Amino acid sequence: MTPEEIANLLPAFFAPELRATYGDDASRVLEGLAQQRPTTLRANTLHATRQEVADQLTAEGFRFQQVPWYADAFILEENPRSSLWDSTLIKEGNVYVQSLSSMLPVLFMDLKPGLDVLDMCAAPGGKTTQIAALGAGQLHLTACEQNPVRADKLDFNLRKQGAANVMVMRQDARKLDSFFSFDRVLLDAPCSGSGTLSATDPKLAKRFSEALVKDSCKKQAALLQKALEIVKPGGILLYSTCSVLKRENEEIVAAALKQAAKKGSYKIEALDLSGFEGLPLLPSTLEGAVTVCPTALFEGFFMCRIRRYA
């Protein structure tokens, strides 16, 4: 399909907004939303080494590629996703099925033993369990989730992945008490999911709308203000969404930093992308922020790392 044909399958507001933000690069975004992506997963190193996972994948008949920028990640070839759910790897919690784009934010959090870490919107637990695995059990990790059903799913995944000693807070992260403070905060904010859309999804009109984008922006603004409040001086806040819309990304961050400047000192830190060659990037209007273009391998994604100085 051409970009124009893809645009016609999406809500009317979407393609014009992409073109206003990205110009000619909007066609890349549209083409990416028409792609079928392979199943990707990462080794849960709390249970198994990456080599043990690779050996088990081979033994169970899965063909795969490894990911140059993340040794624990795997891209499956040919095998339908349904067969993976019957594998020993899934049943024993030795892997976690996760998109490559979703794996990125945690890799830029500069995790170190002994740090107090918060995952603000944690369910279903993909990034929480990734933090736990990369921290090798040496972090003080808190996961926040207000939805009871999603919090139950988070609990289940933490247990299955062997992520012990994670404190789960079943409450709205926007209402966290101000006496809480953390060295690292991950805010993978609720969003419209515009970077993950499938242009051929027959239910797309119900799942993605202008109203959803507006509602997401309100939640993001409130969550980011709270995140800026509770990250410690010297600490790092990683803000991310699976959206490619500027109003959920650059505009939210810029407005939040302007407001937070009345109470503290913050600076966006450019992400060091050495070793991440080949990451499909889109231009960003916010210096230091990174927007990943949806492709046949990646979902659309936004990341911004903020350091608090005072």
Would you name the residues annotated as active-site residues? Answer: 242
Cβ partners under 8 Å of residue 145, min gap 6: 121, 122, 123, 151, 154, 168, 169, 170
Helical packing angle, 250-260 and 210-230, nearest 10°: 40
- What the block records as the tokens of 145 is 């989730």
- The answer to whether the CB of 246 falls within 8 A of the CB of 21 is yes
Residue type, 169: M
Q: What is the C-alpha separation between 74 and 97, in angstroms, rounded?
A: 9
Q: What is the C-alpha separation between 74 and 38, in angstroms, rounded?
A: 10
Cβ partners under 8 Å of residue 67, min gap 6: 40, 73, 74, 75, 100
CB-based burial label for 20 (10 Å; 0-12, 13-18, 19+): exposed
Beta-ladder partners of 292: 281, 301
DSSP 50: H
